[in-house]
Amino acid sequence: MPFSPPSRAALGSTVANILRNAILDGSLKPGEPIYEKALSEQLSMSRSPVREALIMLEHEGLVVGRMNKAVTVRKPSADEIMQIYTIRAALEGIAARWAAEKSTPQIVAALLRNAEELNARSVAIEDGVNLDAATPGIAFHMAIADAAGSAELNVVLQNFCNKIQLVMQAGLASMSRRRADVIHSEHLAIITAISNRDADLAERLASAHVKGGLQRMVYPVDCTDG
C-alpha cells in the first residue's frame, strides 16, 4: 500500500505508528513483506528511522525479521490464537457482567449504535467493499469494557488490543454474509442481557461469543455449504 511522508521530521516512533496502524487496520496483511529500502524511499527519509521502527514493531510482536531478508507482518500461530482467545473470553465475560450490573438506557443505546454500525460494515465487506472490520469490532467490545466502569479491566484489555486485532485481521479473510449475521445476532443478545441487567447471562453470552469467534476463525464457515 502507498504511504505518505510524515508532515514533520521523521522519527522511528512516527514511522512505527504509520506501520502499526497499517498492520492493525489490515492494510498490511499477515505474511506481507516490508522492505526497508523501499519504505525509506517512499517516506523520503533515511533508512535509520525505518530500521528503528521495524525493531520497535518486532519487539511488539507485530513483525518478524530474518537475516538478509525482508521483515514480514507476523502470522499468529494456532497455539497463540487459542491462548489469546481463551484469555479474551474470560476478560470480556467479566466486562459484560459488570456492564450489566451498571446498565443504563444510555449505555444500551450506545452499544446498539455501535453494533449496527459494525454490522453495516461487515455486510459491506462481504459485498466486496474494502473496509477494516477488526478496528470497529474491537471498538464495540471496548465499549462494553468502558460500560463496565473498571479502570483496571480497561487497562488490561487496552494493553491486549494489538494482539487481539492482529489475530482478528488474520481471520477476517473468511468473512461471509452468514458469519456476519451470526456475529450481529450474538452482539444483540449480549446487549439485551446487559439491558435486562442479567449479569450471569451477559457474562455467559460474551464469553461464548469470543469462543465462537475462535471456532469461526479456525474452522471458517463455507458460504457454499447451504
Residue 83 and residue 68 share a domain: no
Residue 147 and residue 35 share a domain: no
pLDDT value at residue 132: 67
Among 73, 97, 119, the domain-final residue is: 73
Cα 87 to Cα 92: distance, rounded to the nearest angstrom = 9
| 209 part of a folded domain | yes
- The DSSP secondary-structure symbol of 174 reads G
Mind listing the pLDDT tens digit for each residue in 75-87? 888 888 889 889 9
More reliable by pLDDT, 40 or 100 = 100
CA–CA–CA angle 123, 17, 77 (5° rounding): 65
Residue 154 and residue 213 share a domain: yes
| 1 part of a folded domain | no
Residue 26 and residue 50 share a domain: yes
- CATH number of the domain enclosing 195: 1.20.120.530
Residue 209 and residue 127 share a domain: yes
Mind listing the pLDDT tens digit for each residue in 181-194? 888 999 999 999 99
Does residue 127 have a pLDDT over 60? yes
For strand 33-34 and strand 63-64, is the pairing parallel, antiparallel, or unpaired?
unpaired
Cα 83 to Cα 202: distance, rounded to the nearest angstrom = 22
Alpha helices, H only, 43-176: 47-59, 78-101, 105-126, 134-148, 151-171
Among 58, 73, 88, the domain-final residue is: 73
- The residue range of the domain holding 152 is 78-218
Does residue 9 have a pLDDT over 90? no
Domain count for the chain, please give it.
2
Question: pTM value?
Answer: 0.75
Q: Which amino acid makes up residue 85?
A: Y
Cα 151 to Cα 132: distance, rounded to the nearest angstrom = 27
| 104 part of a folded domain | yes
Residue 58 and residue 117 share a domain: no
